Structure 1
Amino acid sequence: MGVWAAWKVLTEHPRLLVAPSVVFAITMGVAWLVRRVLLGSLRAWNRRNRSRPGLILAEALRGPTIIWVLILAAHLAIQSSELPAAVRDIWGPNISMALWAVSLTLMSMRVAGDIVRHYGGQIPGALPVTTLTQNLTQLAVLILGILLTLGAFGLKITPILTALGVGGLAVALALQDTLSNLFAGFYIAVAGQIRVSDYIKLSTGEEGYVTDITWQSTAVRGLTNNLVIIPNSKLSQAIVTNFSLPEKRMGASLQVGVSYGADLEQIEHILLETALLGAQEIPGMLAEPAPSVSFDPGFCESSLSFTVGYQVAEFANQYGVRHHLRKRIYKRFQEEGIELPFPTRTVYLYGPQSVKPDGGKTDP
C-alpha cells in the first residue's frame, strides 16, 4: 500500500488513530521516566568514580535514547492499531529502521568526538586535538552512517554522488573564502607547527596562546586575557614565531648597569650568585641550564653594563622572573654598597676669568 492509499484510509477512518495515539502517549511517558532514572544513575556513578569512559557513554546516550523512546512508542502504537496489515508491515519496519539508523549515527558521532577530545592527545603521532579534528571525525562518521542507511533502504548511491559532485562545483565557487579557511585549518592541524597551548607571534603583531583551531579560524588568547580570532587562511600565509617549539623552555636575559668605579669581578660574582639562588626559588626560572653573566654590552654612556642570561619554563614566565630577579639584585647591591648609575652631564662654562678644565684661567 502506497503513502497516498494509507493516508486515504486514515482520513476516512480517523478512529483508527485513537488507540495507537493512546498507546504512543503512555509508552512515551513511561519510557521517558525510565530514561531519566537510568541516565541520572549513570551520571551519579560517574561523579563518584570519576570515570572518563562512563562520562563519554553518558553524553553519547543522552540524545539517542530520546530516539529509542520514539522507536519503542511508535512500534507499540503501530502494532496495537487496527490499521491495515500493509500499513503495519511496511511503514512500521521502515520507520523503525530509519530511526535506528539516525540514533546510532548520532551516538557514534558523539562517541567519536569525545574519544578524540579525551584520548586523541595520548596517541603518538596523532593530529593535535582541536575543534577541527573533532568535527572532521564526526563528519566522517555522519557520512558513513548516511551511506549505510541509504544502502539498507536499497537506494543507489552512485546517482546521488554524481549529483553531489556537480552541485559541489557550484558550491565551491560560491564558498571560496570559507573553503580556503577550511583547508588552511586542516593544513595547520596536520603540519603540527602550531598546536593548541603554543605561544605564537605573527609578523603582523598578534601574539598569544593558541586556544583552539576550528574549520574557519584560530583563536589566540593574549597575555592580557583578550581573545584574538585569526582566519586560518591569513595564519597559513603569515610569518609565525612559535615560542613553544622545538620546546617550551626558552632563554631570557636581563641587563644590569653599575657605576664606572665598581669592581668588575665583584659585580660578576654577585650577579651570578643572585641568579643561581633565584633559579632555585623563583617560579618559572630553571636551574638547568645554569644562569650565566657576561660583561656585555660593556662600556655604556653612563654605566658598566652586564647581561644576566637564564632559562625560563615558557614564554610567559620571563616577565615574572625578570621582576623578581631585579628586586633581588637591587637588594643585594644595597647590602654590598654598590652604586647604581644614572645619566650625568658635566657642563663647562667659559667666560671672563673662568676656570679652565685643566685648572688654568681663561683670558678676559
Structure 2
Amino acid sequence: MILSIPDMKGLFLSLAVFLLCNAIGIIISKGIWSKVTRITTHVSEEYAEILGKALQGMPALWGALLGSYSAIRMVEAKAEWLRLLDGIVVAAGIFSITMVTARIFAAMATIYARRAEGAFPSASILANIIEAATYVTGVLIILQTFGVSIAPILTALGVGGLAVALALQDTLANVFSGLHILLAKPIQAGDYIKLSTGEEGHVMDISWRNTTIRALGNSLIIVPNQKIASAIIINYDKPDRELAVSVSVGVSYASDLDHVEKVTLTVAKEVMDEMAAGIANFEPVVRFHTFGDSSILLNVILRVEGFIDQFRMKHELIKRLHTRYNREGIEIPFPIRTIHMKSVD
C-alpha cells in the first residue's frame, strides 16, 4: 500500500486544504482577476489584453497545484512517493509558468511587428519561434528539476541540429531570410517593388518560406525569401509613396521653344490640379535635353501619390498635350530620315 493507516483527521484536513485552494483559484480566475484586468485596461488596453490572455485559466490551475502540494505534505506516505508527487506538482507549476511566459513573449513580438510601419500578415513567424524557444527552455528546466542532466541532451540537440541544418539548408536559409526581411523591413506588405531579376508587383505576404507578389496583371509571383534577401530591390513606396513621373515629348525643329515650354507647363499644371492622384503643391518641370533625328526632345516631370497612379497621369497628359499642340500649331513630327543617293556613272 502506498499509504499507512491514515489518521482520519489529517486526511480530512488535507482534503479540505486541497478544496480550499481550488476554490480560491477559481474565485480569483472568475471574479477578482476580471476586476484587475479592468483596472489595467486604463493603463494600457493592449497590454491588459495580453496579460489577460496569458493568465487565462492559470489562477485556477495554480490553486489546484498549491492545494495538491499542501495536501501531499500533510499525508503520511512513503518518502519516495512523496518525492515523486512533489516533483510532478513542481513540474506542472514550472510548465504553467512557461506557458504564461511564452504567451506574453509571443504577444509582445506580434505587437512589435504590427507597430513596424504596417503589419505583416505573416509576422507570426517571429512569435512562433519565440514561443517554441520558451517552451524548450521550460522543458529543460523541468528535466533539470528531476535530476536529469541536460548537458547530454544539449549535445545531442547540437549534433542533431547540425544534421537537420545540412538536410534542410535551403529551407532554413529561407526561414532566416524571412526573419531578416521582417526585422530590417526593406519591404513590407502593400509595397510596390521590382526585383533585379525583373519580377515586379505589390507585396501581398511574407511567409516563413517565401514572399508572394501580385503583379499588375493580377497574377501571383512566389519568390523564395533567400532570393528576396540577396536581390537588388527597387521599392517604389520607400522612403515615401510619392513618385516623380517623366513623360518624353518631341517637337519640330521649327517650333518656338519658349512657347512650347509655356504651353506644356500650362497643360501639365492643369493635369496635376485636376487629377486626384497629382500632388497639389508640386510645380511641373519641363526640360529640353536632346537634338533628335527628327525632333527636339523634352521631358515633362510630374509627381503622383503612388506607383500605379503614374499610368493614368501619363495617359491624361499625352491626350491633353496632343490636343493643345494641335490648337497652338506646335508640330509633333513623324520620324524622318533623309537618304542621299549617289549615282554611279
Q: For this structure pair, what is the TM-score category when the shorter chain's length is used for normalisation?
A: 0.5 to 0.7
Q: Is the 8 A contact 1:78 1:88 kept in 2?
A: no
The amino acid of 1:322's aligned partner reads K
Corresponding position: 1:106 with 2:107: no
State yes or no: 1:157 paired with 2:146.
no
1:308 aligns with 2:300: yes
> 1:286 aligns to what SS in structure 2?
coil
Q: Which residue in 1 is equivalent to 2:47?
A: 53
Give yes or no for the alignment of 1:322 onto 2:314: yes
**Could you say if the C-alpha distance between residues 118 and 79 of structure 1 is closer, same or farther in structure 2, counting changes exceeding 3 Å?**
closer
> Aligned partners of 1:96, 1:333: CA distance in 2, in Å?
88
Aligned-pair CA distance for 1:337:
5.4
Residue 283 of structure 1: CA displacement?
3.6
| Residue identity in the other structure for 1:319 | F
1:241-269 per-position Cα deviation (integer Å, ceiling 9, x unaligned): 33345554432212345677765433321
Alignment partner, residue 220 of structure 1 = 213
In structure 1, distance between residues paired with 2:180 and 2:292: 49
Q: 1:165 to 1:77 in 2, by over 3 A?
A: closer
- 2:329 & 2:98 partners in 1: Cα distance? 74
The TM-score normalised by the length of structure 2 is 0.66
> How large is the RMSD of aligned CA atoms in angstroms?
4.9
How do residues 35-54 of structure 1 correspond to structure 2 at under 5 angstroms?
51-54=45-48
Deviation at 1:60, TM superposition (A): 3.2
Is the Cα–Cα contact under 8 Å of residues 295 and 307 in structure 1 kept in the other structure?
yes
Which structure has the higher relative contact order (CA within 8 Å, separation 6+)? 2
Alpha carbons of structure 1 residues 69 and 219: separation in structure 2 relative to 1, 3 Å: farther
Quick check: 1:75–1:92 contact (8 Å CA) kept in 2?
no
Identity of counterpart residues, as a percentage? 33
SS of equivalent to 1:293: strand
Q: Any conservation in 2 of the 1:257–1:304 contact (CA below 8 Å)?
A: yes
C-alpha distance after superposition, 1:302-341 (max 9, x if no partner): x76542112334433323433444455466557x455785
**Corresponding residue pairs, total:** 318
- 1:98–1:300 CA distance, 2 compared to 1 (3 A): farther
Whole-angstrom CA distance in 2 between matches of 1:250 and 1:101: 55
CA distance in 1, matches of 2:215, 2:157: 42
Residues in 1 aligned to 2:54 and 2:309: alpha-carbon distance in whole angstroms:
40
Residue 262 of structure 2: aligned partner: 269
What is the rounded CA distance, in whole Å, between the counterparts of 2:323 and 2:95 in structure 1?
Answer: 70
1:256 and 1:264 map into 2 onto residues whose CA distance is 12
Name the CA distance, whole Å, in 1 between partners of 2:324 and 2:252.
15
Partner of 1:311, secondary structure, is strand
- Which one-letter code corresponds to 2:103 in the other structure? R
Return the TM-score normalized by structure 1. Answer: 0.64
Worse-superposed segment, 95-104 or 161-170: 95-104
Deviation per CA, 1:23-56: give whole Å up to 9, x if none: 99xx79x94996599779969x97x999322333
Deviation at 1:292, TM superposition (A): 0.9
Q: Which is worse superposed, 227-236 or 253-262? A: 253-262
> Is contact 2:203–2:214 with CA below 8 Å preserved after alignment?
yes
- CA apart distance, 1:161: 0.8
Matched residue, 1:360: none
Partner of 1:117: 110
Give runs of aligned pairs for residues 193-212 of structure 1, distance below 5 A. Answer: 193-212=186-205
Give the Cα separation in 2 of the matches to 1:221 and 1:90: 61
Q: Which amino acid aligns with 2:174?
A: N
Between the aligned partners of 1:78 and 1:138, the Cα distance in structure 2 is: 28
Given that 1:131 and 1:213 are in contact with CA atoms closer than 8 Å, whether structure 2 keeps it comes out as: no
Determine if the alignment matches structure 1 residue 180 to structure 2 residue 173. yes
2:198 alignment partner, SS class: coil
Which amino acid counterpart does residue 311 of structure 1 have in structure 2?
R
- For 1:171, which of 161, 164, 168 is the aligned residue? 164
Q: Which residue of 1 aligns with 2:227?
A: 234
1:34–1:133 Cα change, 3 Å: closer
What amino acid does structure 2 have at the position aligned with 1:54? A
Structure 1 pair 168–261 and aligned structure 2 pair: CA distance change class (3 A): same
Measure the CA separation in 1 of the matches of 2:320 and 2:283: 17
CA distance in 2, matches of 1:120, 1:305: 48
Deviation for aligned residue 1:120 = 5.1
Residue 293 (structure 1) aligned to one of 286, 289, 296: 286
